[in-house]
Amino acid sequence: MARSSINPARVDFVTLRLFCAVAQSGSITKGAEACHLALSAASRRLSDFEATAGSKLLERSAQGIALTPAGHVAMQHAMRLFQGFEQFSNELGDYASGIRGHVRLWANMSALTEFLPAALASFLAQHPDIRVEVEEQLSGDIVRALVDGLADIGVFAENTPAYGLDVKTFQTDELVVLCPRQHPLARSKRVSFKTCLAYEFVGLNRSSSLLELTSRAAEQAGVPMRLRVQVRSFDAMCHMIAAGLGIGVVPLAACSAQVSVLGLKVLRLSDAWAERRLLMAAQAGGQLSPAAGLLMKHLEGSGPAVAGSIDGSGRRKSTRGI
């Protein structure tokens, strides 16, 4: 038997907003108040919504309102619709106010810390009529946002599955080991990652591309990586390392300022994966807006940079153009 589909003409944003408000508050009364509706009108809308969906969405009890399994699915789609409508409203508002372009750029921490600030500053100086909305996200989430159409352009670490996307190299960064100057490794200038695994590490939070990369390298070396502390930023990593809580693998350019301030020692890694590519992507076959196309072209022209050597202070000697 063929499944019946929901008639979009029978579902409006007022009802969807009411449904979300009731689900979040656990109360029809509170949901109706939040949406400025009479209780009887709210109850009728919810009943009509369930009849239209052909499924029971809300479980009513003396303890309040809870979502059924079908209700959870409806909630997820309703929130996505609201997000899309908000973006729709914002972008049209930009045109009405004279801002003639809107680009949604999602990037991981490395790209935002190292390369994108200067690239975006120069782009916006050339195109003041374009607004770039920037979000920092994990590499895997960036790819999903591109596939789902929530982002126009994404910048993320290599080795992130990116099926269905048009992918290009954006920049190359060099991963190094940081340690306190009194650490046993501080006597070295260049080490293998396997040698570093004899010591405790400070790392980023779970699901970060850098943590996945170093964890995979530890598995290949056959030595477990002992994470003593996990934090959410490179700045926090540097402070934890300076406090003697472990060593850490970081992009050099992202932490070069902290190296001298905190008195950290920079060790080059002899492993091939220490030179890591950052990728730039958009939907394959998708038509970028004129504003997004301009930004993509600008970012292509800003890289890739080739990782250079490190001098005694931990600063990279640029080899661009060599």
Where is 256: in which H helix or E strand? helix 252-262
Higher pLDDT, 62 or 127: 127
Note every long-range contact of 56-60, with CB atoms under 8 Å and residues 24 or more positions apart, other chains counting.
57/19, 58/22, 58/23
Q: What is the pLDDT of residue 247?
A: 96
pLDDT, tens only, 262-271: 999 999 999 9
Q: What is the pLDDT of residue 274?
A: 93
Beta strands in 137-263, from DSSP E residues, in sequence order: 153-157, 165-180, 190-191, 201-204, 227-231, 248-251
Q: How far is the C-alpha of 137 from the C-alpha of 159, rounded, in Å?
A: 16
For the cut 50, the answer to whether the pLDDT of residue 205 exceeds it is yes
| Domains contained in the chain, CATH given | 8-92 (1.10.10.10), 99-171+277-305 (3.40.190.10), 173-275 (3.40.190.10)
Q: What is the pLDDT of residue 91?
A: 64
pLDDT, tens only, 284-319: 887 888 899 999 999 998 765 433 333 333 333 433
Q: What is the pLDDT of residue 280?
A: 95
pLDDT band at 17 (very low <50, low <70, confident <90, very high): confident
pLDDT, tens only, 216-248: 999 999 999 999 999 988 999 999 999 999 999
Name residues whose C-beta falls within 8 Å of residue 274's C-beta, 6 or more positions apart in sequence. 174, 175, 176, 193, 268
Average pLDDT (84-96) is: 65
Question: Structure pTM?
Answer: 0.61
Higher pLDDT, 13 or 241: 241
Question: What percentage of the chain carries pLDDT values higher than 70?
Answer: 86
Name residues whose C-beta falls within 8 Å of residue 36's C-beta, 6 or more positions apart in sequence. none
For the cut 70, the answer to whether the pLDDT of residue 5 exceeds it is no
- The H-assigned helical ranges of 6-68 are 13-25, 28-34, 39-53
Quick one: tokens of 243?
């406090």
pLDDT band at 84 (very low <50, low <70, confident <90, very high): confident
